[in-house]
Each structure stands twice: as structure tokens, then as C-alpha cells.
Amino acid sequence: MTATLRRAIRPLAEALISQIAAGEVVERPASVVKELLENSLDSGATQIDVKLEAGGIKRIMVADNGAGIPRDELALALARHATSKIASLEELEGVESLGFRGEALASIASVADVAITSRVAEAESAFCVRSGNPGPEPGIEPAAGSIGTRIEVADLFHKTPARRKFLRSEATELAHCLTQVERAAAAHASVAFTVTHQGRTMLALPAQTPRERALRLMPEEFAAARREVEQDAGAVRVHGWTGAPTASRARADAQYFFVNGRYVRDKVLTHAVRAAYADVLHGASQPMYCLYLTIDPKRVDVNVHPTKTEVRFRDSSSVHQFVLHAVQAALAQSVQPLHWQQPASEAAPKPGTYRLTPTHQTSFGVAQTVASYLALLAERPAPLASDANDEPADAPLGFAVAQLSGIYILAQNERGLIIVDMHAAHERIVYEKLKRQLDQRQIPQQRLLIPQVFTASAIEIATASEHGELLEQLGLDVSLASPTQVALRGVPALLSQADGAELTRDVLRDVREYGGSRVLTEHRNELLSTLACHGAVRANRRLTIDEMNALLREMEATERADQCNHGRPTWVQLAVGDLDKLFLRGR
């Protein structure tokens, strides 16, 4: 900057300072809604009503039945750096309220017209303060109003037209406002909320239990596909619900994490949940979850960003591990029965109108006694395919009856018919076994009586000679037979039936694609699925009844056996009642 262009340093005007600060907090109407809701929640409200006009751009009104603001503090509520929530650094470091900066209302008032009407229990009437009033002492007038606070924000950004241009359509702004209410509501189930837009009710939530509230706000299919998460380590607790991998989505639009009652978007937490799904959900599929972390406020810093949607954990790696294990444990609750469910609205079933949903939570890890099964029934059907003496006491997947189209196993259990995708189920079993073997650093190898020699491309030859050790770790003995040929001398014992050449080619392709040295750390699961796919029984292979029953028993003993490693279900249940409905029996 040249000397002639330089201007003298001057303090900024107070109004301009506020407008600059507002830029950090107030991006759009939804930011105002968020700040007002947080104030209402901090005031101990049990009922919060939001009224919006023109997507919140024209008017936002939030009314609560909380503690209210005393008359002589009303002007301060609009002043910058004035708060009733903290008074010292020590209190900041252990802050338990949603607000603490004493800046939100001042920021909003610098870019919109604000009126606060509030009444505390001791006062005879409510009082009102308006932001526009000039002078150091804004006028405070008596007003009508019950105990609590009503804040009205009108004409957002009319003072800063440049920022107003960044707003989107009213419908988009309204959607963002609703999202903020939903997040606040999900974190505070015992508080009732209503939202109206141009007088039309958009949302009405009574006080609910946390479970009722989460199910009300999450996508409909979450209710049937959720697994309970609950892990308490004293200083930190995570609870809530996470979706079955079979109910994953294309977009990450049903992922909620709350820390001490605050919605956050935190990389550590998001990564931990994603890592818990690494084994059951591949590719771009997104899980659904609604999880609540409660932690000593001293162990988490919320003063990271003005909007407070980011947090910093004092010990982020142990929080990561804690959440990862909690979600993993929820997902490992083994087989979740799925059955065909008739939509409630249907009077009579129409073919093709049934949806797959899990019926009830059954954990095969927790041994279910014969008695509890008997309690479920009128009578226990005789097993069809197995000698009664050999029958395991606990066979939730029942006994094989037949094989269908070379793809499905049909079995009968106490509740009715079980249909198993035989390849997908077996693939999961082989995959889990390989994973255990690899974790123990030993995938047992089966030597081939006659080495299998096959022609390979230059890139396959290069990969094989470069990564011999890695292949050995995976149980594959691959060496060069000639400049254009590869010899396979040993395969993983679990994969002894596989086509060796095809298997080797696929593994070489994975190793090359994922980058040799990192493949076992970063792409272990993908690689093991390639192996497992080759080890699993192929479609059209005829299985004997005994083989089919053996597969069912292995599924029961395998963690996460109810979905293949791509997140698809491996089996479904059609209860006798469902079959009756199909045939209109008993109607």
C-alpha cells in the first residue's frame, strides 16, 4: 500500500463491529432460529413455539415459557459481550449451557430489527425492549405477556442488502429453519415444540421420551432397522440408535450426533461411526444414526467456532475408540430377523406391496432358551430335515427343507419360513473366518498337489513379484513360472474349492489398485471380501440337506451373519402369519 493511499488507524464504530461479528453467527434465517432456540432451552423452557414468515426472512418469532429476563436486564440482553451464563474463565472451561458468548442477540440486532418481550415469575407484567431505539438507554415498556420470553426478529439483513442477496428461495430458507428446530428437538425430547409458517403448522411435537422423539424425527424406515447403542464409562457415555447396514442410504442425511445436548458435526465422531461400519458397509452407502454423547464439559471445548457446531475433545483418540466400540457392539448383535410386512394402510395384501423390515430384536449372541421359543408358539413344529436326536437345542434359523433355483435355501423354523441367500450368507461366514485368521497373523494354507500355471499380463507379473510377501500373508503361494506365466502352489485352506487362477487374478488386481504396502491396513476388508467371494459356495451348486443345515448352524454362530459384507440381508423370515395373509386365510 502506498503512503498516499494509506488512511489513519481508527477504532471501528460499535455498529460496524457488531455487523462484522454477526457475519460469523448469522448466515441466514436458520442461524437466527438456532440462536433463539438455544436461548429458550437455556432458560429451562418446556414449550417453545416458532413462527416464521417468508422462510424466516421477513419475520421470525420464538416464544418460550422459560425463566424470562428481569426488566433491568432487558437492555443488556441486546448488548454485546453481555451474558448471564458465565462469569469467569473457569466457568467457560466447564460450560454446561448452550450459549456463553453473550453475542447472539447483539449480532442479530445489528442485521435485523429485534424486539424482546419477557416476564419473570416475580414481575407483575411483561416488559419489552426494541433494538432500533436510539440512545444508550433503549426504552423499556410494559407489555402483555405470560412468564417466559418472546423474541421477534424482523427483516433480516435489511440493513446489509449485500448479505440479503446471498439468501436462497423462501422454501430453501424455511427448510433450513426446520432443520434447526429438528436438531434442537432431537436433543431435548422433553420439550414440546411447534413451528408455523405463514400461519400453517409445519411441525408439532409434544413432550416425548428420547426414543419417541428420535423415531419421530428420523426417516420412517429407521424405526424397524435401528439397533440400540448404550455404553457407559462413567466420565463418558454414548447412547442412542444406529441403523442396520441393510437400511443404509445414498446420502448422509440421517446422521445426527449430539454432544451434551448440542448438535455437532465433528470429524472424530463421524469417523468413529463410519469405522464401526467399515466391515459391513462398503462404498458410498451411508448409515443412519442418532447418537448422544454425554461427557464431562471440562473434557470438551465448545468454544472452537462462533456457531458452536464444532467441538474439540481433550482426549479425542479415546473418545474415538469409545464411540467406535459402542457402535461396533451394537452392530455385532447378530442376526436380526427380517420378515415381510404388510403396510398398515393396506386393507388386503397385493402382491409386491410388502416391505422388508426386521420384526424384533433377537440377539443370537445371547443364548435363547428352548423354553422362550416354546413360549412364542402354540406348538413347536417337528424339524423336517434333521434327526431329532441330533437337533441342536437352539436353532433359530431352523432346518433346511429345500434349495430353490440354485440360489436360495428354504428352511423352516418355529415362526415359519426362512429364506437364505446361500452365496451371500456363506460369503459372510468365510469373510469372518478369514478376518479372524488374518488378525492372528495366520491364514492356513493348503498346498496344491499340482501347481497351477497360468498366463499372466505384464502388470500381473510385476505385482506378483513385487508383493510376494503380502500374498503369502494372505495364504497365497504365487511365484513366476516364466516371463509370461505365474505358478500357484498354495491357496488359503478355506478357499481350497476356488478357481485358483481367477482368485489370484482378482487378488493381484486389488493389490495393484489399492497400492501394495497399504492394502492390509487401509483396504483389508475389501481384500478379504474378494477372497471370501471366491471361497463362498457358488450359485447353482447343489447342496445336500446336511450341508444346508451346516450352513444355517454356521450362520447362527457367526457375528454379523444377517447381512453380507456389502450390507445386503443374507436371510429373511416369512412368518406363518405372513403366509396366511398372502393366502387371505382367516379373513
Ligand X SMILES: Nc1ncnc2c1ncn2[C@@H]1O[C@H](COP(=O)(O)OP(=O)(O)OP(=O)(O)O)[C@@H](O)[C@H]1O
Instruction: Count the site residues for Mg ion by CB under 5 A.
Output: 3
CA dihedral 309, 315, 318, 322 (to 10 degrees): -40
Task: Please count the CA atoms within 13 angstroms of the CA of 226 that sit on its side-chain side.
Answer: 23
Closest CA to 579 of 340, 362, 382, 329: 340
* Residue 84 interacts with, from ligand X, Mg ion, none (CB under 5-8 Å by kind): ligand X
Task: Quote the least distance from Cβ 69 to ligand X, whole Å.
Answer: 5
Residue nearest to ligand X (CB): 99
Closer CB to ligand X, 62 or 471, in the complex: 62
DSSP 27-89: SSHHHHHHHHHHHHHHTT-SEEEEEEEGGGTSEEEEEE-S----GGGHHHHTSTT--SS--SH
Closer CB to ligand X, 106 or 191, in the complex: 106
Give CA–CA dist 279/586, Å, rounded.
Answer: 43
Contact status, residue 513 vs residue 270, Cβ threshold 8 Å: no
Where is 429: in which H helix or E strand? helix 422-439
Closer CB to ligand X, 66 or 567, in the complex: 66
Task: Quote the least distance from Cβ 38 to Mg ion, whole Å.
Answer: 5
Give CA–CA dist 379/383, Å, rounded.
Answer: 12
Give CA–CA dist 6/96, Å, rounded.
Answer: 46
* Residue 508 interacts with, from Mg ion, ligand X, none (CB under 5-8 Å by kind): none
Residues 6+ apart with CB under 8 A from 31: 25, 307
Task: Quote the least distance from Cβ 24 to ligand X, whole Å.
Answer: 11
Closer CB to Mg ion, 108 or 478, in the complex: 108
Query: What does each C-alpha distance from 155 to 88, 181, 326 come to in angstroms?
Result: 35, 20, 46
The residue type at 38: E
Q: Is 361 exposed, middle or buried (0-12, 13-18, 19+ CB in 10 A)?
A: exposed
Instruction: Give, as ranges, the residues between 82 and 101 that touch Mg ion (CB under 5 A).
Output: 99
Cell numbers representing residue 230 in the block: 448404550
Task: Quote the least distance from Cβ 126 to ligand X, whole Å.
Answer: 12
Interacting residues with ligand X (CB under 6 A) = 35, 39-40, 43, 64, 66-69, 77, 83-85, 99-106, 149
Work out whether the CA dihedral 73, 74, 75, 79 comes out positive or negative.
positive
Tracing cell 492372528 back to the chain, one arrives at 440
* Residue 102 interacts with, from Mg ion, ligand X, none (CB under 5-8 Å by kind): ligand X
Inter-axis angle of helices 29-42 and 170-187, to 10 degrees?
20
* Residue 43 interacts with, from ligand X, Mg ion, none (CB under 5-8 Å by kind): ligand X
Closer CB to Mg ion, 149 or 565, in the complex: 149
Task: Quote the least distance from Cβ 150 to ligand X, whole Å.
Answer: 8
Closer CB to ligand X, 47 or 84, in the complex: 84
Closer CB to Mg ion, 114 or 575, in the complex: 114
* Residue 117 interacts with, from ligand X, Mg ion, none (CB under 5-8 Å by kind): none
Closer CB to ligand X, 39 or 412, in the complex: 39
* Residue 103 interacts with, from Mg ion, ligand X, none (CB under 5-8 Å by kind): ligand X
Closer CB to Mg ion, 68 or 569, in the complex: 68
* Residue 567 interacts with, from Mg ion, ligand X, none (CB under 5-8 Å by kind): none
For 369-379, letters b (16+ CB in 10 Å) and e give eeeebeeeeee
Task: Quote the least distance from Cβ 466 to ligand X, whole Å.
Answer: 56
Q: Contact with Mg ion (CB under 5 A): which of 18, 19, 31, 39?
A: 39
Give CA–CA dist 180/184, Å, rounded.
Answer: 6
Cell numbers representing residue 336 in the block: 436380526
Task: Count the helices and strands in the chain (H runs, E runs).
Answer: 20, 24
Give CA–CA dist 283/470, Å, rounded.
Answer: 24
Task: Quote the least distance from Cβ 36 to ligand X, whole Å.
Answer: 7
Closer CB to Mg ion, 104 or 272, in the complex: 104
- Per-residue contact string for residues 103-122; x = within reach of Mg ion by CB under 5 A: -x------------------
Give CA–CA dist 110/131, Å, rounded.
Answer: 8
Question: Where does this chain touch Mg ion (CB under 5 A) — which range of 13-21, 31-39, 217-225, 374-382?
Answer: 31-39
Closer CB to Mg ion, 104 or 236, in the complex: 104
* Residue 100 interacts with, from ligand X, Mg ion, none (CB under 5-8 Å by kind): ligand X
Tracing cell 470429524 back to the chain, one arrives at 267
Task: Quote the least distance from Cβ 96 to Mg ion, whole Å.
Answer: 14
Task: Quote the least distance from Cβ 113 to ligand X, whole Å.
Answer: 16
Tracing cell 467456532 back to the chain, one arrives at 305
Task: Quote the least distance from Cβ 49 to Mg ion, whole Å.
Answer: 18
Task: Quote the least distance from Cβ 30 to ligand X, whole Å.
Answer: 15
Where is 495: in which H helix or E strand? none
Residue 243 sits in the site that holds Mg ion (CB under 5 A): no
* Residue 70 interacts with, from Mg ion, ligand X, none (CB under 5-8 Å by kind): none
Contacts with Mg ion, residue ranges (CB under 5 A): 39, 99, 104
